[in-house]
Amino acid sequence: MVLHFLIQGRVQGVGFRWFVQREAGELDLRGWVRNTEDGDVEVVASGSAEDLAELRSSLRRGPRGARVDRLVEHYLDDREAAGLTSFRIDGAW
């Protein structure tokens, strides 16, 4: 199962991407997280329905200092998982 999440609120400058990477890594999910130009955080994650549900809960909560106002979620075709490797932060330097 592959899900795309868009997290809106105060989610940049608060360690949100590192929080997501740690949570997803503990769940052994594959995928990536990145900031968007609009100030949101975008996540693509692949794994079991149970693990993705746990990630969803973490995304709603966020790290300390974050405020999640909205979580938008879409299912992606399972073929989207083909190129996904261990969970990583995209665009971090």
Catalytic residues: 17, 35
The length of the chain, given as a count of residues: 93
Judge contact between 32 and 43, C-beta under 8 A.
yes
Element (H, E) at 80: none
What's the start-to-end Cα distance of the chain, in Å? 29
